[in-house]
Amino acid sequence: MTFMSNDLVPGSNTYIEIGWVYDMPDPNPHIHNHSHDYDEIVIHIGADPDNPEYLGGEIEFVVGGEKLVIDKTSALFIPKGVEHGPLTWKNVEKPHIQMVVMPGAGTLRDSNPAGYLP
């Protein structure tokens, strides 16, 4: 779900997308290798208030050719032009949030989430 864009908040010039992950995505991965013309911040947030670092799942994310394993609440800065993906869930034990923030990308087309748009 898009929470901020120039369409929603004219002049914001920031794209923010937030989604809950309740179970294994289908297809998995659904985010493949791509890059953007804007810096990107990818945030994964666990939903356990008693253990906020616990993500509730395990994700394998390739950034700049390096395979990362994400299993804790975390934020990752991806500079513009750096290839990233695929993003593959290895397991989902509890719901958690995935959030993308792209300063300067004011529209869905600018942000080109997950490299979907031509």
Inside any domain, residue 66: yes
Q: Is 117 part of any domain?
A: no
Per-residue pLDDT of the chain (118 residues; tens, 9 = 90+): 888 999 899 999 999 999 999 999 999 998 899 999 999 999 999 999 999 999 999 999 999 999 999 999 999 999 999 999 999 999 999 999 999 999 999 888 888 766 666 6
52 falls within a domain: yes
pLDDT recorded at residue 102: 94
Q: What was the pLDDT predicted at 18? A: 94
Predicted structure pTM score: 0.90
Q: Looking at the domain assignment, is residue 61 inside a domain? A: yes
Give every CB contact of residue 92 below 8 A, 6+ residues apart in sequence.
21, 22, 23, 24, 56, 57
pLDDT of residue 113: 65
- Count of residues in the chain: 118
CATH code at position 12: 2.60.120.10
Q: What pLDDT was estimated at residue 115?
A: 62
Q: Count structural domains, the chain.
A: 1
- Would you say residue 118 lies in a domain? no
- The token duo for 77 is 């800065």
- Give the residue numbers spanning the domain of 62: 2-111
In a domain, 35, yes or no: yes
Q: Is residue 60 part of a domain?
A: yes
Other CB atoms within a 10 A radius of the CB of residue 69 amount to 10
